[in-house]
Amino acid sequence: MSKVASETEYQVCTNCIMDTSDPKITFDSNGMCDYCTNFYELIEPNWNPGEIGVNKIMPIINKIKEEGKDKEHDCLIGISGGLDSSYVAYIAVKKFGLRPLMFHCDTGWNSDLGVSNIQKIIEGLNLDLVTEVVNWEEMKDLQRAFFKSQVPFVDTPQDLALFSAIYNFAAKNNFKYVITGGNISTECVRESLDWTYFSTDTKHVKDIHKKFGDKELKTFPMCDILKYKTVYRWINGIQVIKLLDSVPYIKKEAIKELNRLFGWQEYPQKHYESRFTRFFESFWTPKKFHFDKRRAYFSSEILTGQMTRNEAIERISKPELDEITMRNEFEYVAKKLDFTVDEFEKIFQGENKSFKDYKNNYFFITLGTKISKILGLENRKFR
Ligand SMILES: [Zn+2]
């Protein structure tokens, strides 16, 4: 029998490091959490990185090559500069012989290291790159609105832009195949919706913007998840291919390989290619909302055998950034978003809200993911 831990009772999984900071987590009689059970029962048995996975994916790779043989590029790959997207570009080109057009969406928050890593991959693999720059005034306005709304997932505007820009580009330019760096290896523990609500629920985004935004969003890339799952999938015929689940993808080895071949430099933490995300994950959410997204990242790595539970406990016991850096970043982000430090501090101290406080399409989206789960298209837990 599993039970939902009460709000006052602290519990941490005995197998990974997910804990009751996720309000809906449940534990079995051995103290193992439902993310772990889900991984062992549903994800792991269907995950074949290596020969079986490669054999399974070859028919689609051959189809991509065949259909694209007279075109300049046969597929589209989004690159953020992070490890997943950099490594998938390398695998697509060097292991599978694909000829991708690379796509980058610049939301105004690229770290210097992120920019340099993108360049290294593009030049090292001799690829073509298209960059879409999001209108900064609109980006800023939507980010300000999210901060004022007091929901925890203030990275939604950035996430939505990255997602929408590439699929809108694919639809407009008739790309049928989008290769993504999404993977089980580092992302099998999908954070609770209380931590990160669907950034592609545009009903939700628009409601928050209507209540707290000041400017009209004229060019902001916006692709709703329901449009993506229906029109883009079935009318435009866009297919998303997750190559990294078919090959061995061990984070430490991938970093070494990219470094040796292209001089690609490691980040101290996942998602640190964006200065905003670094601030958001290492300061805003742990300090204001009392959850640490590293729990999900490290737990994924524990489950996929890349980190021991003790290492994870050691890492999570210390913040990723020191106090002085965090303070500097607080002021940097406030200034960049046109908040005074006082205004930003007030928001930080303000009452926290959740996605349920604003209009949303939760019902339809979760219905969609439940159907995907029944059909075996999605094995991660959504709740
Ligand atoms: Zn667990």
* pLDDT tens column, 253-289: 999 999 999 999 998 777 777 889 999 999 999 999 9
How would residue 192 be classed by pLDDT, with cut points 50, 70 and 90? confident
Q: What are residue 19's DSSP bridge partners?
A: 12
Q: Are 361 and 203 in contact (CB under 8 A)?
A: yes
Q: 13 alpha carbon to ligand 1 midpoint, in Å? A: 5
Q: 308 alpha carbon to ligand 1 midpoint, in Å? A: 13
Mean pLDDT, rounded, for 379-383: 67
DSSP assignment of 190-244: PPPTTTS--TT-HHHHHHHHHHH--S--SS-----HHHIIIIIIIIS--EEEEGG
* Among 372, 28, 80, CA closest to 226: 372
Query: Which of 143-157, 237-251, 268-282, 293-307 shows the lowest mean pLDDT across its residues?
Result: 268-282
Q: 38 alpha carbon to ligand 1 midpoint, in Å? A: 9
| Domain interval for residue 316 | 48-374
pLDDT of residue 4 exceeding 90, the answer is no
Q: 24 alpha carbon to ligand 1 midpoint, in Å? A: 13
Asked whether residue 24 is domain-assigned, the answer is no
Q: How many folded domains does the chain comprise?
A: 1
Asked whether residue 9 is domain-assigned, the answer is no
pLDDT value of position 300: 97
Q: 246 alpha carbon to ligand 1 midpoint, in Å? A: 24
Asked whether residue 188 is domain-assigned, the answer is yes
CB count within 10 Å of CB 357 equals 13
* pLDDT tens column, 38-85: 999 999 999 999 999 999 999 999 999 999 999 999 999 999 999 999
Asked whether residue 307 is domain-assigned, the answer is yes
Q: 379 alpha carbon to ligand 1 midpoint, in Å? A: 16
Q: 40 alpha carbon to ligand 1 midpoint, in Å? A: 10
Q: 123 alpha carbon to ligand 1 midpoint, in Å? A: 40
**Residues, Cβ < 5 Å to ion ligand 1:** 13, 15-16, 18, 33, 35-36
Asked whether residue 14 is domain-assigned, the answer is no
Q: 50 alpha carbon to ligand 1 midpoint, in Å? A: 25
Asked whether residue 30 is domain-assigned, the answer is no
Separation between Cα atoms, residue 283 and residue 357, nearest integer Å: 23
Asked whether residue 1 is domain-assigned, the answer is no
Q: Supply the CATH number for residue 107's domain.
A: 3.40.50.620
Share of the chain above pLDDT 90, in %: 86
Asked whether residue 26 is domain-assigned, the answer is no
